[in-house]
Amino acid sequence: MYIYLHKSKKQSNPIQMKKIATLTLGCLLAFTATKAQTFSDDFESYTLTTPLLGIQSPLWRTWSSTTGGGAEDVAVVSTDNHTVAGSKSIYFSSTSATGGPQDVILPFSAGAPLTTGQFSWKSWFKIPTGKSGYFNFQGTATMGGMYVLDCFMTGGNIQIQNSGTIVASATQPVGTWFEMEIKANFNSNSWELLINGVSQGTWSNANNQVWGIDYYPADAAASFWIDDVSYNVTPYTLPALNAAGNMLDISNGLVGSVRYPAVKVRNLGTAVINSFDISITQNGGAPVVKNVTGLTLASLASTIQTYTVPFTLVTGTNTFVATISNVNGAGADGDASDNVLTTIVTPVTPAAGKMVVAEEGTGTWCQWCPRGAVYMDLMDTKYSGFIAPIAVHNADPMTVTTYDAAIGALIGGYPSALVDRLPEIDPSGIETDFLTRIIVAPKAFVLNGATYNSTTRVLNVSVTSTVQSTLTGNYKVACVITEDDVTGTGSTYAQSNAYAGGAAGVMGGFESLANPVPASQMVYDHVARFISPDFAGIANAAGTSTAAGSVFTWNFTFTLPASYDDTQIHIVGLFIDPTGKIDNAASTTIPQAVANGFVSGTGVGINDIADAPDAQVSIYPNPSSDYTSITLNLTKASDVSVMIYSVDGSLVGSKSYGELNGGMLLPVDMTRYTAGMYFVNVTIGGTTSVLKLIKK
């Protein structure tokens, strides 16, 4: 398994650069913001193997040192190369699951990061079949101080990520040399990815600066060569007065969605800016003007101005143009080329009756999982009524064992997400898959009904499917219960947070919180509490009701523990197609479902299935070297016993707890056991759950 990382996951960052063809060290150190800079390295002048790259070149360095040498440095090899007339390149590989040890840096600047002008970097790569490659751009001379972007190359795919968000992607040539180029215009914050000279898309980068590149073999699958590395810097001379458009943020979405544009303006002049005007047009319509006054915007500083006037996305192409003018009341500024920003979005029209489901694998132990929480909340806010978010927790007190096991089998690490159970993605990519799925007409409309007794806390749910087009195959039905605003006490509810301190970028406020975030500051949303009957759903749920217009209903019963807040519960009815993808869904609160009416056993195709689990069981932390705890959430008083077995079947520990009820932690002293795997049998009211436990 792997964890999506920003590379700060590992205290070191990879960067590959080579020799010096057109630039000497003296030239690099003498470089100023007013002179162009060109660098290239084909590695042909280096001695093979040893001394290492950083020892031979004064430009290359390692992550932890301003010079080369040591385990982090990389050797020049002749095992493969790109240049026809040459024979040498640099090779990165790792047999460690956590990556390394090579971790080399090529600075683009001898001092401060590049923040104005234009920049381009090129490198040739070769990645064998089944292997992966990785590099990142660093934003400051302090390694790990700012990740400008991360590039992941694996499985024939290239992903460029910024602060965990996928900003560009492309097909990766496998087993052959290919050229990657990244261009950046820092003045306009316009970045571009090119593969073999062909543009793969542009974006505005959250961290609009760069200091150097870090090449690093990020995991045990890493194996790649690099050759013919080059970069070019074209500096920019600041005029006296210049307000430059740096970003026009209008996100895509559904037809009819309301957007409030945000415009980032940067002072690319030498004089302080006190005021300016912004006008925005949509599809050539009347401009909407925002007068910005009362500023004291210093040279190279930025301001983000958000409109309070709404813009509504319409069918087809929506072209938004923002123009900056009247800087300091003086009319035109010193550079008209950076006054206009254009953004084009093409919203989609949702299919009638359609709801998309996003299931996210997460856990309080997972340091990158705050990203999942942020994107799930963002999607819920942005597309309320069209998406059902479900946070499936792993190895923490909110774990639903069967749900967690099913999701875990479909993902490679945490956080990961499944949209309608398509292939796994990073949570930052949920919107892309959502916009693809929301336009697909469902085979059936889904309606949740319910009755609820607040005294007994018994929730009876009816999931009714109305067939829209003839069903062929094994369609299934399931029901999930989620809860918002979940809180807890103790360390198991504290959220591990790799974004603390801001080095890994901005992430919805987590950059301002500690690592871990104390339980007292954490509120968890969309938490999966029940899934019935299981992940796969009720087989052949439609029965003979397969013709368009047919209606069939399944009933489910849940008993909500007293610790659950019934005002924060959502009922999610799932209609699953024969391939296992979720065809459609419905998400309702308890009052909404009650208002819809509960469909009892008098209609056609009515079936009954009950799901009132006596308990939810999990172990955390796992693995553990000293102490761990079995977490129980009992819905009724039950006899509880625990038996621990080694892998050879020997009973190594047991305890009977008698009758228990409610939520509790059962401590386990791991210091008694040798390192290895154990099976923990937790028997509750005669039903046994078997969990794996690792002793480190």
Structure tokens at 626: 């000293």
Q: Report the C-alpha gap between 590 and 674 in whole angstroms.
A: 48
Q: What are phi and psi of 336, to 5 degrees?
A: -75, -15
Beta strands in 501-543 (DSSP E): 527-532
**Are 333 and 242 in contact, with CB atoms under 8 Å apart?**
yes
User: With contact defined as beta carbons under 8 Å apart, do 390 and 482 qualify?
Assistant: yes
DSSP 8-state symbol, 217: -
Which residues does residue 123 pair with via DSSP β-bridges, in sequence order?
Answer: 180
pLDDT at 429: 87
pLDDT value, residue 616 = 66
pLDDT beneath 50, residues of the chain: 1-34, 601-608, 610-614
Estimate the crossing angle of helix 370-382 against helix 430-437, to 10 degrees.
40
Q: Round to whole Å and give the CA distance between 3 and 14.
A: 17
In b/e form, how buried is each residue of 76-97, taking b as 16+ CB within 10 angstroms? bbeeebbeeeeebbbbbebeee
Residues listed for the chain? 696
In the DSSP assignment, the letter for residue 612 is -
- Residues 469-485 have pLDDT tens digits of 999 999 999 999 999 99
pLDDT of residue 35: 65
Q: By the 8 A CB rule, do 283 and 318 touch?
A: yes
Q: Kindly report the pTM of this predicted structure.
A: 0.70
Contacts of 39 (CB under 8 A, 6+ apart): 20, 21, 22, 23, 28, 59, 108, 229, 230, 231, 232
- Which pLDDT score is estimated for 536? 94
State the pLDDT at residue 26.
28
Tokens of 588: 């309702």
Residue 300 region by backbone torsions, left for phi larger than 0, else alpha for psi between -120 and 50, else beta: left
| DSSP-assigned states of every residue in 283-351 | TT---EEEEE-S--B-TT-EEEEE-SS-EE--SS-EEEEEEEE-GGGSSS-S-GGGSEEEEEE--BPPP
Domains of the chain: 8-234 (2.60.120.560), 243-345 (2.60.40.10), 350-441+487-522 (3.40.30.10), 442-481+530-613 (2.60.40.10), 615-695 (2.60.40.1930)
Residue type, 304: I
